[in-house]
Amino acid sequence: MSVHTLTVDGEEVAVPAGATLLDAVRAAGAELPTLCHLDGLTPVGACRLCLVELEGSGKLQPACATAAGEGMAVLTQTPQLQAYRRMAVELFFAEGTHVCAFCVANGNCELQDVAVAVGMDHSRFPYQYPQRRVDASHPHFAIDHHRCILCTRCVRVCDEIEGAHVWDVANRGRECTIITGLDEPWGEVQACTSCGKCVDACPTGAIFRKDDTTAEKQTHRERPQLLRDAREKHQWQNQ
């Protein structure tokens, strides 16, 4: 097997060919905050929290979507990167409506965890308080678009693991939103199998089970392995 040797914050690591910089960072025993990334799903580099700096390059690269290469020197904790990560988290909170005290995911929310990790205790940006929809038309689940951070995990898990492709992204800019079917109410989309994978994949309280109330949303802590197993099963069934 071909192996690439590189350094992460000065520590030399070896990763197999095809590994990403995020894999290399983890192999070095370091951690990077992520929201859009989930093991087993195609990386998209949407949240930009895992940006790293490559020595000799003027660009910052998303570690989850950048292939590791021989001789790379990766920096993960420069003052610039730390400032960018905090700013990104501030923008997530300012752009949506995240009232943690009344959220089903309070205490089990990846956005909360990342905010703590980057030291974000307030946002310097004005809160937008957008007027968004809450779709509770599904018999078991609901989606509150106020809490959605457009990570597209639901889109990818439904497409790549369940194979139903219920979710998609519509519009652009401020109007960008997650939709079900052809922008139909979720409960009217016949392709939905009610598997709940989108609920488990959602990093916030945007998609939740109807019987969950404040701080009651639970996710599978082992979900990366579960998603890998599900993906392998889905690929095998379609061979």
Domain ranges within the chain, ordered by starting residue: 3-77, 100-233
Residue 143: burial class (beta carbons within 10 Å; 0-12, 13-18, 19+): buried
What is the C-alpha separation between 92 and 113, in angstroms, rounded? 13
What is the C-alpha separation between 126 and 123, in angstroms, rounded? 8
What is the C-alpha separation between 103 and 212, in angstroms, rounded? 10
Collapsed DSSP state (helix, strand, coil) of residue 207:
strand
pLDDT digits (tens, 9 = 90+) for 175-198: 999 999 999 999 999 999 999 999
pLDDT digits (tens, 9 = 90+) for 157-181: 999 999 999 999 999 988 999 999 9
pLDDT digits (tens, 9 = 90+) for 142-151: 999 999 999 9
C-beta separation of 91 from 125 below 8 A: yes
Query: Does residue 233 surpass a pLDDT of 70?
Result: no
Residue 229: pLDDT band by 50, 70, 90 thresholds? low
What is the pLDDT at residue 220? Answer: 56
Based on its alpha-carbon atoms, the radius of gyration of the chain, rounded to whole angstroms, reads 19
Query: Does residue 153 surpass a pLDDT of 90?
Result: yes
3-state helix, strand, coil split of the chain in percent (to 5) is 35, 15, 50
CATH code for residues 100-233: 3.30.70.20
Average pLDDT over residues 31-36: 94
- pLDDT > 70 in the chain, percent: 91
Residue 12: burial class (beta carbons within 10 Å; 0-12, 13-18, 19+): exposed
- Going by C-beta distance under 8 Å and a sequence separation of 6 or more, which residues neighbour residue 224? 38, 39, 40
pTM for the model stands at 0.88
Task: Answer whether CATH 3.10.20.740 is correct for domain 3-77.
Answer: yes
What is the C-alpha separation between 134 and 147, in angstroms, rounded? 10
